[in-house]
C-alpha cells in the first residue's frame, strides 16, 4: 500500500498501479481479506487508477471501498471520510 502511494506521489502511475494490484494479490493469497483490509486495498487501487487516468476503474474501486467501510458502521467512520476525500 505504501509503495503504491509513494510511486503515485512520484508521478509513476503505472508503477503505482502495478504495486496496488500486486498488494491485492498478495493479501488475497495470504487470506488477509477482512473488510477493513480489502477496503484499504481498494482505496489504494482507486488512487493508482486515477494516476493512470482510468477514472471509471477508479470510481468503481473507490465506491466498493466506500461500501465496505460504510458496512463497518461507526468503526469505519474515519476511513469513510478518507475515501470521500479521494
Q: In this structure, what is the dihedral angle of CA atoms 29, 52, 58, 65, given to the nearest 10 degrees?
A: 40
This prediction's pTM: 0.81
2-9 vs 35-51: helix axis angle to the nearest 10? 20
User: For each of the chain's 86 residues, which pLDDT tens digit applies?
Assistant: 789 888 998 999 999 999 999 999 998 888 867 888 898 899 999 999 999 999 999 999 999 998 988 887 756 556 665 666 66
Amino acid at each position: 500500500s505504501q509503495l503504491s502511494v509513494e510511486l503515485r506521489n512520484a508521478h509513476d502511475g503505472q508503477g503505482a498501479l502495478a504495486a496496488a494490484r500486486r498488494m491485492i494479490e498478495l493479501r488475497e493469497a495470504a487470506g488477509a481479506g477482512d473488510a477493513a483490509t480489502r477496503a484499504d486495498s481498494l482505496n489504494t487501487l482507486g488512487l493508482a487508477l486515477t494516476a493512470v487516468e482510468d477514472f471509471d476503474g477508479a470510481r468503481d474501486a473507490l465506491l466498493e471501498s466506500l461500501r465496505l467501510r460504510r458496512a463497518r458502521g461507526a468503526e469505519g467512520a474515519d476511513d469513510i471520510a478518507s475515501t470521500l476525500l479521494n
